[in-house]
Amino acid sequence: MQKRTLLDGKKFQITIKRLCHQLIENHNDFSNTVLIGIQPRGSYFADRVQQELSAILKINTIQKGNLDITFFRDDFRRKDGFVTASSNSIDFPIEGTNVILFDDVLWTGRTIRAAMDALQSYGRPDKVELMVLIDRRFSRQLPIEPDYIGQQVDSLDSQLVKVSWKETEGEDKVILLSERNK
């Protein structure tokens, strides 16, 4: 396997800060905006953005929740064995709010479609935006585009983008994995 580092260390943190400043430009004080992380990997991203926004704005009222999409995916019945879902933690109304969905990697668009379906169970937001750390822009199967992008990468379907978070893997890093030519 060949590895290419896309983001790590200081560049990883700078990317998150840049995305936070873009959010501040569009959402000001976040009084009518909520952050929703798509379980499991988007939740780490949303946590990090919420922490950074709170530090920049010096407020602690930015609402954040986690959304499980397990049973909304179009492929959940195709998996062998029992499917286990994570818990949702959206303890605030989203009716009439601006929702920002978070995921670490946007690839085919199927995860985002499932998240938008699941989100409707909680009400009808005024607007839904999408923030992704990595956009694999040439692999879309559905017409879904992010509003906020950490970095775009042109990759083949055979390649894998792996995001490591300090909270779970001990370091902030994004790598592109490719199989070596034989």
The predicted pLDDT at position 182 comes to 44
pLDDT category at 181 given cuts 50, 70, 90 is: low
pLDDT digits 0-9 by tens, 127-169: 999 999 999 988 899 999 999 999 999 998 899 999 999 999 9
Angstrom distance (rounded) from CA 20 to CA 45: 11
The reply to whether 70 falls in a domain is yes
The predicted pLDDT at position 49 comes to 98
The reply to whether 83 falls in a domain is no
The predicted pLDDT at position 80 comes to 61
The reply to whether 159 falls in a domain is yes
The reply to whether 81 falls in a domain is no
Question: Rounded to the nearest 10 degrees, how much is the dihedral formed by the CA atoms of 70, 114, 19, 2?
Answer: 70
Give how many domains the chain has, as a whole number: 1
Q: What is the mean pLDDT of residues 110-127?
A: 95
Note if the pTM is more than 0.85.
yes
Tell me the CATH number at 109: 3.40.50.2020
The reply to whether 66 falls in a domain is yes
The predicted pLDDT at position 86 comes to 64
The reply to whether 80 falls in a domain is no
The reply to whether 79 falls in a domain is no
The reply to whether 68 falls in a domain is yes
With beta carbons less than 8 A apart as the criterion, state whether 54 and 60 touch: yes
pLDDT digits 0-9 by tens, 44-99: 999 999 999 999 999 999 999 999 998 786 655 555 665 566 677 899 999 999 99
Q: Which domain holds residue 110?
A: 2-74+88-178
Distance from chain centroid for Cα 26: 18
